[in-house]
């Protein structure tokens, strides 16, 4: 039996870091995601898949639509408003969030776009009341240097965080809107062909860079990682979402 080798197996690991920003307000309204408990209101929605601008259905949206789930939302007046409930248009993008995303882009030597547009990514699992997530592509390219390791940067985005899941039972999914809309910066790195130790070094190095900027949130749940893993003769890519 041959000894296992990451090089021989062709293991490649891609990291996507999602880091909450510490701006004191949400991305598209003045609500704070961290506030004393207030009056809780509840409402129910059902979300359905619709065709994109390209005239196609998103496979993930079709899958969620076939589950035919009801969504029960818990809304606290102290940390959410009509924007989170999708009953009011989004306000102007938070300026501090934009500035932080530009600082991070510059620190990673990423090429910043002259104009930034809010795009809509279809999401109907209930984590967003509108049925889509607003995200902005800020920059592309760049490099992360950690010791003797250099990892390329694919893209840096500014986006809104999803609602906080409370549970699922008897065909009903429950979410709290306190987290929905908190600004996030998403950093996607180029795939790393190396050992788990090297992947960990890259993740830790990026974490130190973000903390050094001192404008990011700290604590459990404020930073999450999606890990994409593939091998040379495997069947596609396996994505592990939400690691902390």
- In sequence order, which residues have a C-beta less than 8 Å from that of residue 83 and are 6 or more positions away? 26, 28, 29, 31, 89, 90, 91, 181
pTM here?
0.88
Whether 40 shows a pLDDT value over 90: the answer reads no
The two beta strands, 132-140 and 12-20, are: unpaired
More confident residue, 182 or 223: 182
Beta strand segments in the chain, E: 12-20, 40-45, 70-76, 111-112, 118-122, 132-140, 143-146, 149-160, 164-169, 172-176, 183-189, 223-230, 238-243
pLDDT tens digit string along 92-118? Answer: 999 999 999 999 999 999 999 999 999
Please tell me the distance from the alpha carbon of residue 190 to that of residue 218, in angstroms, as a whole number: 25
Kindly report the average pLDDT of the chain as a whole number. Answer: 89
pLDDT tens digit string along 8-34? Answer: 667 788 889 999 999 999 999 999 877
Helix (H, G, I), strand (E, B) or coil at 172: strand
Q: Alpha helices of the chain — where are they, by DSSP H? A: 6-9, 59-67, 95-107, 196-213
Structure-token pair, residue 150 = 């250099």
Task: Give the pLDDT band (50/70/90) at residue 1.
Answer: very low
pLDDT in the model for residue 198:
86
Structure-token pair, residue 14 = 């891609």
Per-residue pLDDT, averaged over 144-173, amounts to: 93
């Amino acid at each position: 039996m041959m000894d296992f080798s990451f090089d021989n197996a062709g293991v490649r690991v891609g990291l996507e870091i999602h880091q909450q920003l510490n701006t004191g307000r949400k991305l598209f309204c003045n609500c704070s995601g961290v506030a004393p408990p207030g009056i809780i209101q509840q409402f129910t929605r059902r979300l359905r898949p619709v065709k994109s601008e390209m005239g196609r259905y998103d496979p993930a949206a079709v899958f969620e639509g076939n589950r035919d789930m009801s969504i029960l939302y818990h809304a606290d007046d102290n940390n959410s408003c009509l924007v989170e409930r999708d009953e009011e248009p989004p306000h102007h993008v938070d300026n501090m969030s934009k500035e932080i995303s530009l600082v991070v882009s510059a620190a990673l030597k990423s090429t910043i776009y002259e104009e930034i547009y809010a795009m809509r990514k279809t999401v109907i699992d209930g984590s967003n009341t509108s049925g889509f997530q607003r995200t902005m592509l800020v920059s592309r390219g760049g490099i992360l240097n950690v010791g003797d390791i250099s990892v390329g940067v694919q893209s840096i985005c500014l986006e809104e965080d999803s609602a906080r899941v409370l549970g699922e039972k008897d065909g009903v999914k429950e979410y709290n809107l306190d987290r929905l809309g908190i600004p996030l910066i998403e950093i996607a790195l180029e795939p790393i062909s190396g050992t788990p130790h090297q992947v960990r070094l890259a993740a830790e190095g990026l974490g130190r860079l973000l903390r050094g900027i001192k404008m990011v949130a700290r604590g459990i749940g404020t930073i999450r990682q999606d890990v994409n893993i593939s091998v040379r003769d495997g069947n596609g890519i396996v994505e592990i979402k939400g690691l902390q």
